[in-house]
Amino acid sequence: MSAFWSAWVTVITLAVIFGCAWLLFATRKGEKFKETTDQTVGHAFDGIEEFDNPLPQWWFYLFVATVIFGLGYLMLYPGLGNFKGLLGWTSTNQWEAEMQHAEEVYRPVFAKYAALSIEDLQKPEHEAGLKMGQRMFANNCSVCHGSAGTGAIGFPNLTDSDWLYGGNPATIKQTITHGRTGAMPPWGEVLGEDGVRDVASYVMTLSGQDAVAGTDIGNGERQFQALCTACHGADGEGMHALGAPNLTDDVWLYGSEFKNIAHTIRAGRAGVMPAQKDLLSEDKIHLIAAYVYSLSNK
Q: What does DSSP assign to residue 83? A: B
DSSP element (H, E) containing 51: strand 48-51
Partnered with residue 152 across adjacent β-strands are: 155
Tell me: is residue 178 an annotated ligand-binding position. Answer: no
Tell me the HSE value of 298 on the side-chain side, using a 13 A CA sphere. Answer: 9
Cβ distance 237 to 248 under 8 Å?
A: yes
Tell me: is residue 99 an annotated ligand-binding position. Answer: no
Tell me: is residue 273 an annotated ligand-binding position. Answer: yes
The phi and psi torsions of 45 (rounded to 5 degrees) equal -120, 110
Q: What does DSSP assign to residue 185? A: -
**How many Cβ atoms are within 10 Å of 151's Cβ, its own excluded?**
17
Cβ distance 78 to 1 under 8 Å?
A: no
Alpha helices in the chain (DSSP H): 3-26, 57-76, 91-114, 127-140, 142-145, 169-178, 188-206, 217-227, 229-232, 258-267, 282-295
Tell me: is residue 20 an annotated ligand-binding position. Answer: no
Tell me: is residue 1 an annotated ligand-binding position. Answer: no
| Separation CA 116–CA 224 (nearest Å) | 45
Tell me: is residue 184 an annotated ligand-binding position. Answer: yes
Cβ distance 179 to 273 under 8 Å?
A: yes
Region at 3 (left for phi over 0; alpha for psi -120 to 50; beta for the rest) = alpha
Tell me: is residue 228 an annotated ligand-binding position. Answer: yes
Closest by Cα among 178, 170, 204, 163 to 296: 163
**How many Cβ atoms are within 10 Å of 85's Cβ, its own excluded?**
15
Provide the annotated binding site for heme c: 141, 144-145, 184, 228, 231-232, 273
Provide the annotated binding site: 141, 144-145, 184, 228, 231-232, 273
